[in-house]
A = this chain, B = another copy of it.
Amino acid sequence: MEEKIMNQWMKELGPNSDVVVSSRVRLARNFNDLSFTHHASDEELKQVTIKAKELLRENNEFQLELIGIDELSEFERKMLVEKHLISPEQTQVNKYKSVALSQDETVSLMINEEDHLRLQMILPGLQIEKAWGLADQLDDYIEDKIDVAFAEGYGYLTACPTNVGTGLRVSVMVHLPALSMINRVEKLMSAISQLGLAVRGLYGEGTDTVGNLYQISNQVTLGHSEEEIIENLLEVTQQIIEQEKNARELLLQEQEVSVKNKVYRAHGILTHAYSISIEEAMELISNVRLGIDLGIIEGIEPIILNQLMVMIRPATLQLTKGEKLSIEEREIYRAELIKELLN
């Protein structure tokens, strides 16, 4: 695998990118005649792999390249997690685990993760519907070719009951620096939870919130159609966008000096620090991004911050540098890389 770092959502901004970093759609699918991954025999896991390979070989539309997890170095596996292309679970080396990626990494397909097949579409900005369209298209192709586990009255069957039904998880990653500054995030998030949506940190369940980034996704996969699930997330996201934008206007009106101070200082530290932790960098990147969106800082492309978010993470950082680094060395190289990208 060549060490390509940039992919589509790191190269291009999508609609509403001043609040929404990316949109993801994930579908869980299983072969009807094989046991779920966790209970499958080696022979069954092998069968999944063989059938998936065939499926992909015959598909010209998405042109997915299949990579065995055991072909990747530790850093390459972890970089795929940092880019949100595979789950941490999928990094465990196992000769039956693999991932298929499209050239621009918009499409990824994990094989023998919790479910036999997990399709994911990730697009920059607010593009849930487009991502769903692509996922649906790939799913149609798959279901046309194979017999998928499905039960009348339930829907798609999945390894974990929380995915049964549509097998659909839709999520948006939103950047909420202004709501955070005026201490409104917590209240908003608790309201969102009551609408059947889950709020998580940058790297999913149980991960901390850093850089004022939140992942909002549907909790329920059963009892609603795919369209309803998507419509619901879309509506809530539009409300979040509106609230964040109102908060930004309010900040500029009522706390102009302190916002400017925060933004400019963040820029000063990012362009000068000799060493920096990931948590501090994410916080400062968030402030600079807010500064760009508010027109306080000019001359920096907002996309650079989508890139930085991934590039400063440990595995991607060490792949970029081309060597294994100690924590101290990483903090120094991270600072160097940020300076280089911002100047």
Contact = CB atoms under 8 A, between A and B. Distances in A.
A149 interface: no
Interface stretch (A229-237, A256-264, A305-313): A256-264
A332 interface: yes
Contact of A264 (B265, B267, B274): B274
A219 interface: no
A269 interface: yes
A42 B164 CA distance: 98
A332 B258 CA distance: 10
A196 interface: no
B272 A268 contact: yes
Contact of A265 (B258, B260, B269, B332): B269
A212 B328 CA distance: 28
Contact of A274 (B261, B273, B331): B261
A199 to B, nearest CB: 32
A275 B255 CA distance: 12
A332 B264 CA distance: 12
Contacts of A274: 257, 260-261, 263-265
A273 to B, nearest CB: 5
Contacts of A272: 264-265, 267-269, 271
Given A263-B274, A268-B273, A269-B272, 20 more contacts: A257-B275, A257-B328, A257-B331, A257-B332, A260-B274, A261-B274, A261-B275, A261-B335, A264-B272, A264-B274, A265-B272, A265-B273, A265-B274, A267-B272, A268-B269, A268-B270, A268-B271, A268-B272, A269-B269, A271-B272
Interface of A: 257-258, 260-261, 263-265, 267-275, 328, 331-332, 335
